Amino acid sequence: MNELALKEFLYKIADDQLILGHRNSEWTGFGPLLEEDIAFSSMAQDKVGQSQALYEILHTLGEQSPDTVAFMRNANQFHNCILTELPNGEYDFSLIRHFLYDTALAIRFDMLTKSSFKPLAELATKIRGELKYHTLHANTWVKQLGSATPESIERLQNSLEYALPFALGIFEKSPFENDIISAGIFEGEDVLKSKWKTKVEEIITQTKLRLPDVSSMTPIEGGRVGKHSEHLQPLLDEMSEVFKIDPTAEW
Amino acid sequence: MMTRTADDIYKLLEEVKDPEIPVLSLVDLGVITNVEVEGINVSIEMTPTFVGCPAIDMMKSEIVEVLQRNGIEKVNILVTFRKPWTSDSISEKGKAALKKFGLAPPPSAQNLFTDIDILEHVPCPRCSGTDTVLKNPFGPTLCRSIHYCNTCKEAFEQFKPL
């Protein structure tokens, strides 16, 4: 197995989870209603915990400890897709991002339960169940607000159109894509993207939203190779602020 | 010193409770997945209920504390996902304790649920009535959801099926 390919693959999933987990945590205390405050905070906790478990696997492959890789890297060393680092904006954008991202993530982990890399397959079996609650949450709200009032429909529609090119960046291929597929670690981004499209359509058709034709859209890529928007570095600075005061502190 | 068997260790672990649900031991919660004793060395494998559960470190240190209090010095704990936890890992005794505590025990999660149905009409832990609604699939901890009983007119929590 190409170990570099495997590491790159684990980093991108872990980084996605850490960065969106951090964004979700920014809703703590600011949710439009208490239930949503709790939901986004809980999903933040799940995502950061799941990223830690993936960083632990990387640690067994010789990478630095989870805290070090989470807090000490610069933006250009992160492999997350740009979608996850965008600021929360208003609730409509956060909801649509959550829907588009977690739909893909749930399918990814479902596929990973069959991974040839056993520690990942075992972890995926666990995480798959947890993500059911994330997609359940996203689907419920997209269906409700996507059919509610003219304002809620228009807001979700605008956010959907804005977020989709970024969401397509989830499937940006790494230089090792073929190694990952041939080693049986993952079936590949193309398979994931096609399953994702079917699932997104299935939910959106139950609403008054219109799904633009994603096949004619240009994906916004770069995140997987460390080329990020201007939003990532400030996020990292804030996230690691306390850790960096004393990196050797015992917690 | 007397040699202990794995069964002895399980009995001692009955003393260690879930820090967030003090009526439930780690054994009944189902997070202890293996115990091996070799001479004076005790190896324990455990697995978290949720990957992001922040209580796992506390559970580990309480295990060590309880075993040391009972004269077992060499304790090695491995957290692993080899046998992932599901809510079906909770023992019948554990489920009864949850209900008594006021937390609705999880229904069987054998077939991962595909829609919201399994979370609706959860029997109320107080009156056992099923005229209840799901208020939030997320609750005060990762493993709980929030429900409302139309009969009691009170909110309650459920240990989530997973």
pLDDT in tens, B110-129: 655 555 566 778 899 999 99
* Cα Rg of chain B, angstroms: 17
Nearest chain B residue to A124 by CA distance is B81
The list of chain A residues with pLDDT below 70 reads 1
| Chain B residues 3-42 with a CB less than 8 Å from chain A | none
Q: Which long-range contacts (CB under 8 A, 24 or more apart) does B140-146 make?
A: B140/A38, B141/B20, B142/A42, B142/A45, B142/A46, B142/A130, B142/B49, B142/B50, B142/B52, B142/B53, B143/B49, B143/B50, B143/B53, B144/B103, B145/B119, B146/A35
Q: What is the pTM of this model?
A: 0.93
Task: Provide the edge-to-edge strand list for the sheet that holds B74-79.
Answer: B32-38, B41-46, B74-79
pLDDT in tens, A16-62: 999 999 999 999 999 999 999 999 999 999 999 999 999 999 999 99
Write the residue in B52, B84, B138 that is nearest to A48 by C-beta.
B52
Residue B58 sits at the chain A interface (C-beta within 8 Å): no
Nearest CA in chain A to B146: A35
Q: Higher confidence at residue B3 or residue A152?
A: A152
Dihedrals phi, psi of A228, to nearest 5 degrees: -110, 170
pLDDT of residue B117: 61
Cα of A115 to nearest chain B Cα, Å: 14
Eight-class DSSP state of B140: S
pLDDT tens, position by position, A183-199: 999 999 999 999 999 99
Question: Chain B closest CA to A220's CA: distance in Å?
Answer: 30
* Pick from A128, A130, A132: CB nearest B50: A130
